[in-house]
Structure 1
């Protein structure tokens, strides 16, 4: 074979077979689209997606029909686009991270083979915020908020709203990378909003919290404390008056109780129902004819 024939054969082979590789990243719970690499002008007559080094078919298109193979790893989550050859995987999980192979055939004999390396990461969750300090001193509000997140390699940041005109500083407690605290101070009885943003890769999630200090709240807390104190004092006064009243009665009518019941006050109390003296009235016993 001449040199020109070899070159022509190589050109034909390159024209007939095309291959490519692509790396993509997805996040758990979302949908990802695996690109087949097909040209828009192609009329695809056959599409074959497979995993595990071309030993397991998961989706295909042949003789005008779409076939979704019932393989357990992707069952019920695949959708094939017969125009582009792209494969959509819904509700991806970390277990979907692997290499996917696709083979294409066009109506005019073009062939294409591509690989898509899919990496699925855990989805970023919205951080939580809790208040650790909230105090009004000399008409100045002091607050401390802690932003907490889960997951690895997550960056946290605090930003106030545009109307904030006080001062704030943020830092990580105990060198932990899963939380971030912000300390802020501002004057006046008003509310301000702080935003905590968690970011990881291309994902960002933000949670807001509005805090403030109010004189009314402080007054209510004082009123509540005073009300509780007043209630206790009133009970103490009532009990003291009762004790003093009983002592006064016992002292005033001591002689009458002894005369009415010579055997002693205790026996008198035991047998009070048999006498004509009332415990509270202390009427003198009258002689009977």
Structure 2
């Protein structure tokens, strides 16, 4: 055997041991690449699934069969020149490993495996203001970002700001900002495959906070607001039903701010307004 033939054989053996990864989206189509060259003159193509090599699409002796397995009926297309397999109308059940066996140039063989993952398109996040006002003479803004889906990760960007804290739940995240007056806020959600963002420009209030003595680190007001927002997001049901006797989470959070502020050495309650349906909503980036 020539050196070139030995190298080709080693390449094929290596390709059989490795598993290629590919992602697709629910309801859409994806093509599983065979890795073959159209010039190879392919004579046999066999795509199979499961450990018992259940055939789902084949090409043998010039005949194509793509409705071999009921779950893929009328959803497959097989390119007999390249060996590529296209699956349409993807579902979560299609997220498995696919086996390929090729014969080309009469005697040459190629085996490979492809692991398919199926995700749902990420939904654009909903961005809204929960609170804005003065806390210990500091302009505070509280933003909520929510999005439906699995394995969602949240991230925030804000400019300009003095300090920032965030709390993340299952399908939502809350951001607490200390600002001078106006801030541009961006919330981004990711699911490992794609991402989407919403933006908003928010003003704390018409009256800027009065200048106070410089303080090192994070102010007590910022910590208080952050702790209470976190509590309300994760324990909102308890807050609404038992503590403040209200059906509105926004109103519940506002009452919590005022109650806690009154505890801080007899300070006045925070002055501000809650976001409502008339607040400017975030839009796509």
**TM class, shorter-chain normalised?**
0.5 to 0.7
Residue 89 of structure 2 is aligned to residue 91 of structure 1: yes
1:96, distance to aligned residue in structure 2 (A): 0.9
Paired residues for 1:198-217 under 5 Å: 198-212=189-203, 215=206
Verify the 8 A CA contact 2:40 2:104 in the aligned structure 1: yes
1:172, distance to aligned residue in structure 2 (A): 0.8
Larger RCO (CA under 8 A, 6+ residues apart):
2
Gaps of 5+ in 2: 207-272, 274-285
Gaps of 5+ in 1: 216-220, 222-289
Name the CA shift for 1:193/1:75 in 2 (closer, same or farther; >3 Å): farther
Q: Distance in 1 between matches of 2:156 and 2:53?
A: 50
Verify the 8 A CA contact 1:28 1:123 in the aligned structure 2: yes
1:124, distance to aligned residue in structure 2 (A): 3.5
Point out the structure with max Rg over C-alpha.
Answer: 1
Name the CA shift for 1:67/1:150 in 2 (closer, same or farther; >3 Å): same
2:174 maps to 181
Question: Which of 17, 22, 41 does residue 43 from structure 1 map onto?
Answer: 41
Where 1:73 maps in the other structure, the secondary structure is: helix
Name the CA shift for 1:116/1:67 in 2 (closer, same or farther; >3 Å): same
Name the CA shift for 1:78/1:148 in 2 (closer, same or farther; >3 Å): same
2:185 maps to 194
TM-score of the two chains, using structure 2 as the length reference: 0.57
Question: Which of 121, 129, 132 does residue 131 from structure 1 map onto?
Answer: 129
2:165 maps to 170
Q: Distance in 2 between matches of 1:75 and 1:145?
A: 47
1:237 maps to none
1:56 maps to 54
1:179, distance to aligned residue in structure 2 (A): 2.5
TM-score of the two chains, using structure 1 as the length reference: 0.56
Q: Distance in 2 between matches of 1:27 and 1:167?
A: 41
Paired residues for 1:181-260 under 5 Å: 181-187=174-180, 192-212=183-203, 215=206
Verify the 8 A CA contact 2:132 2:205 in the aligned structure 1: no
Verify the 8 A CA contact 2:25 2:120 in the aligned structure 1: yes
> Per-residue CA shift, 1:51-99, capped at 9, x if unaligned?
2345432222334454321533223322222232111223322211222
Verify the 8 A CA contact 2:119 2:193 in the aligned structure 1: no
Paired residues for 1:83-122 under 5 Å: 83-122=81-120
Q: Distance in 2 between matches of 1:34 and 1:54?
A: 20
1:14, distance to aligned residue in structure 2 (A): 4.6
2:19 maps to 22
RMSD: 3.8
